[in-house]
Structure 1
């Protein structure tokens, strides 16, 4: 393209996401989608700013290239900029890619410009408490967690000397160590929970609020179907101690969690959760704040293509 011209799409690439085999993702874009512009994220959160800039610059198709976290950041930038009419495309090139799991991603990136592949997608939104006590807001396309899984995530992101060493050696090793340390001290927590406005007091191990059935790289709570349009899938894990949690986690990893008595699922439009001791809130793989938190469906939908 000539200087100053804008292509029909912009690819926002997280160069730190996943591992590309064979050709690098830049080579694929240059070969299969040569008319698109290409921007690279430089730090966590940069995808939000680039997504917003893409809408402000007038791109009709914004392509997130990376994992679910990259997609989430770009989607947040697009929505903050009022870009509900923008097409949000996704090239799953990260570690988990749960948003695209069960779908058939394009074999050639040029297919992302094919409007016959467009689909309308619900967007979840969450309001939470920041560390300074102010209220924060994020949109999500995959999942949120409060409880054991979010505490493990918080431990994994702590900048301790041990974490730094383990992450340099192996990320999966660091994740496993965070899981073991958390589980060794874990106790189920008392929460105040509202599902569609119905209040209750619960003792839970974990609460997941899902827009897709998968999390953590293809794991499920026993169901491989997403919630109905306009709904969230609220999944509580309750009634198990440490030994029971370890057994349940083993069943989840084996894909055998369906029917487990500790798993309680309900399709709802709104969720609110609070606890006497604030719990971390994980949104699309990132710890964003703590409880109290509210989850709902955003009033607008996104046009997505994979």
Structure 2
């Protein structure tokens, strides 16, 4: 394709989805989207670099093929390169795919080029602390979490011998083991919150900041409606011991979170969270840093197509 071709397309594929799935996606791309170039991610965070390169190389449509983390990486690269006018396509091929829930993904990948499917999408922005104390910034399209869930995520990413063995055996088993380890030592955390400028202190189990209503592969906090444009869904799960946490999680899994007394939700434009002991921050499925963290809506909007 010529550099100024308005239909110049590249697919950024995460091959870590599994051999069988990768082969199926490769076949579909070759048949249904033959005009697209194909790049593969080679290491964690590589999607950010490739998204940035796609904008620099003049691609007008960039398609992320993978899970929510792959989509998030590619979006971050596009926005960092000033490519908010680039169309961001998504082929959900990961474990959770929460960004695509509630939308009807294309049955033929060629339909990703159909402009009538375009949707203008709010982008969340978060500023947080790195382990060395310096500040960092990231965009998000799905959700962020601070508290028990992010501690479980941190345990899951630890490069321990036990983790390595469990991940080779079964990823779900490794996730369950990480959850059990985190829960054994869990105590509610005192945090300082600032919601749209209003400050408060709470003892929490978890705080989630959502751009879509789904998390963890289709679970919700009682609503399947996304926050209104220009807003974030802030969901507090109030502090509870291990038994209380298990009871709350059971209600979430049953779909009864909307009326649970420990769960409070509020739509906000800005949110800040801090704690005496820094808590890990999970952004679109990846542990990226620690509190203090400040959340807002990015001024630009992305054009997305699923």
Task: Flag the 1:270–1:6 CA change in 2: closer, same or farther, 3 A.
Answer: closer
Give ranges in structure 1 of 5+ residues lacking alignment. Answer: none
2:79, 2:18 → 1: CA distance?
A: 25
2:232, 2:146 → 1: CA distance?
A: 15
**1:176-206 deviation line (CA, Å, top 9, x unaligned):** 0111111111000000100001011110000
Q: Please tell me whether the aligned partners of residues 10 and 39 of structure 1 are also in contact (alpha carbons under 8 angstroms).
A: yes
Match of 2:258, SS state, is coil
Deviation at 1:138, TM superposition (A): 0.4
1:171-186 to 2 correspondence within 5 Å?
A: 171-186=171-186
2:218, 2:198 → 1: CA distance?
A: 31
Q: Paired residue for 2:264?
A: 264
Deviation at 1:17, TM superposition (A): 2.2
Task: Flag the 1:271–1:31 CA change in 2: closer, same or farther, 3 A.
Answer: same
**1:12-34 deviation line (CA, Å, top 9, x unaligned):** 00010257559611111010000
Going by fraction, where is helix more abundant, 1 or 2?
A: 2
Q: Paired residue for 2:199?
A: 199
Q: Please tell me whether the aligned partners of residues 19 and 93 of structure 1 are also in contact (alpha carbons under 8 angstroms).
A: no
Q: Paired residue for 2:73?
A: 73
Match of 1:240, SS state, is coil
Q: Paired residue for 2:90?
A: 90
Q: Paired residue for 1:31?
A: 31
Task: Flag the 1:98–1:18 CA change in 2: closer, same or farther, 3 A.
Answer: farther
1:6, 1:269 → 2: CA distance?
A: 35
1:1-306 to 2 correspondence within 5 Å?
A: 8-17=8-17, 24-306=24-306
Match of 1:298, SS state, is strand
1:190, 1:284 → 2: CA distance?
A: 24
2:149, 2:38 → 1: CA distance?
A: 34
Q: Please tell me whether the aligned partners of residues 41 and 47 of structure 1 are also in contact (alpha carbons under 8 angstroms).
A: yes
Match of 2:202, SS state, is strand
Aligned length: 306
Q: Please tell me whether the aligned partners of residues 15 and 22 of structure 2 are also in contact (alpha carbons under 8 angstroms).
A: no
Give ranges in structure 2 of 5+ residues lacking alignment. Answer: none
Q: Please tell me whether the aligned partners of residues 187 and 240 of structure 2 are also in contact (alpha carbons under 8 angstroms).
A: no
**1:254-292 deviation line (CA, Å, top 9, x unaligned):** 222221000000000000000000000000000000000
